[in-house]
Amino acid sequence: MTKTLDSRIPEGPVAEKWTNYKAHQRLVNPKNKLKLDVIVVGTGLAGASAAASLGEMGFNVLNFCIQDSPRRAHSIAAQGGINAAKNYQNDGDSVYRLFYDTVKGGDYRAREANVYRLAEVSNDIIDQCVAQGVPFAREYGGMLANRSFGGAQVSRTFYAKGQTGQQLLLGAYSSLSAQIQLVRLSSILVMRWRM
Ligand SMILES: Cc1cc2nc3c(=O)[nH]c(=O)nc-3n(C[C@H](O)[C@H](O)[C@H](O)COP(=O)(O)OP(=O)(O)OC[C@H]3O[C@@H](n4cnc5c(N)ncnc54)[C@H](O)[C@@H]3O)c2cc1C
User: Quick one: which of 181, 195, 192, 177 has its CA closest to 51?
Assistant: 177
Atom number, ligand 1, closest to the C-alpha of residue 73: 49
How confident is the model at residue 194, as a pLDDT? 37
Distance 39 CA to ligand 1 centre (A): 18
Question: Which pLDDT tens digits describe the chain residue by residue (195 residues)?
Answer: 788 888 899 999 999 999 999 999 999 999 999 899 999 999 999 999 999 999 999 999 999 999 888 888 999 999 899 999 999 999 999 999 999 999 999 999 999 999 999 999 999 999 999 999 999 999 999 999 999 988 789 999 999 999 999 999 999 999 999 988 886 445 555 444 433
How confident is the model at residue 3, as a pLDDT? 87
How confident is the model at residue 1, as a pLDDT? 77
Beta-strand runs (E) in 42-137 = 60-65, 82-83
Exposed, middle or buried by CB within 10 Å (0-12, 13-18, 19+), for 19?
middle
User: Quick one: which of 180, 181, 176, 173 has its CA closest to 53?
Assistant: 176
Q: What is the pTM of this model?
A: 0.90
How confident is the model at residue 136, as a pLDDT? 98
- Tell me how crowded residue 115 is: count the other CB atoms within 10 A of its CB: 19
Output the CA angle 128-133-135, nearest 5 degrees. 110
Give the largest Cα separation in the chain, rounded.
Answer: 61
**Does the beta carbon of 74 lie inside 6 Å of ligand 1?**
yes
Closest residue by CA, ligand 1 atom 30 = 74
Residues pairing with 38 in the sheet:
61
Distance 35 CA to ligand 1 centre (A): 30
Going from N- to C-terminal start, the domains of the chain cover 27-78+164-195, 80-162
Mutational pocket test of ligand 1: of 49, 53, 66, the residue with most ligand atoms within 8 Å of the beta carbon: 66
